[in-house]
Amino acid sequence: MPCGPERPAAVDFPLITDPFFYAVAIPAVLLLGISKSGFGAGFGSLAVPMMALAVTVPQAAAILMPLLLLMDLLGVAAFRKDFDFKFLKFLVPFGLMGTMVGALLFRLLDARMVAGIVGGFTLLFLAQRLLFPPTPDSPPPPKWLGAVLTVTSGFTSFVAHAGGPPLSAYVIPLRLSPVKFTATMAFFFFVINLSKWIPYAWLGLLDLRNMATSVVLLPLAPLGVWIGVWLARRISPVWFYRILYVGMLLTGIKLLWDSVG
């Protein structure tokens, strides 16, 4: 016979409760929101590496999926009149090719290797831009290079939501205005991120624990997007691109560090 009342079964919370996770996730989500609407080439790529300090890279990427959807919708709505549709017709098909490659290779990839490739490429591009700055009569990058970089962007976006640096390596030399740059990037990544939902579900990443954690972080998404929109419409082109370069520098260093850590 039992000698006392039975103890209640331990409750398995359907979301992450570790305080350290939220200490890194909150600034990561805010940076991602700013990136989605204002500075797409740099700071947003830090979100997954920051969250990966507390959870695995695939789990961090899965948690960010609902947040990305909301951010993308807000960004597209804010810049709906500023897209370069002709340019997007070139970019989107190659980006989708990259997500297909990422989905097929996802289980075979080493996350650190991908981080090292993206980080190294980011720093090489930044060094080239700073050591050999373009002149007003510099020709735009060839379209074949744009195609390669856009496929790479779709691939790295699928693996770690880090598609900004490869695409920016192609788009930045085109010297679009800050608003057109931001609007075009926002629409491109809206399509790319939307295409990732079915493969992420197929890979088993969209489970209850990850989605519940996303709901907790969801209120931060519009705040980050609002900050990014506010900055993009007020900052001068010179400072806009300077901040992009700082973001790319931090991103490259962090990703390279993760690849050897």
Q: For position 214, what pLDDT does the model report?
A: 92
- How far is residue 14's CA from residue 214's CA, in Å, rounded to a whole number? 11
In order, the DSSP letters of 19-48 are HHHHHHHHHHHHHHHHHHHT-TTTGGGGHH
pLDDT at residue 9, as a whole number? 44
Which of 74, 100, 77, 76 has its CA nearest to residue 88? 76
Dihedral sign, CA of 205, 103, 33, 248? positive
Looking at residue 65, its pLDDT comes to 92
Computed from CA positions of residues 217, 62, 47, 144, in that sequence, does the dihedral angle turn out positive or negative? negative
Per-residue pLDDT, 10: 44
- Who has greater pLDDT, 185 or 8? 185
Q: Burial level of 79, CB count in 10 A (0-12/13-18/19+)?
A: buried
The full DSSP string for 59-83 is HHHHHHHHHHHHHHHHHHHHTTT--
Residues 28-33: what's their mean pLDDT? Answer: 85
Confidence of residue 237 (pLDDT cuts 50, 70, 90): low
Interval 181-203: pLDDT, tens: 878 888 999 999 999 999 999 98
Residue 69 vs residue 39, higher pLDDT: 69
132: pLDDT strictly greater than 70: no
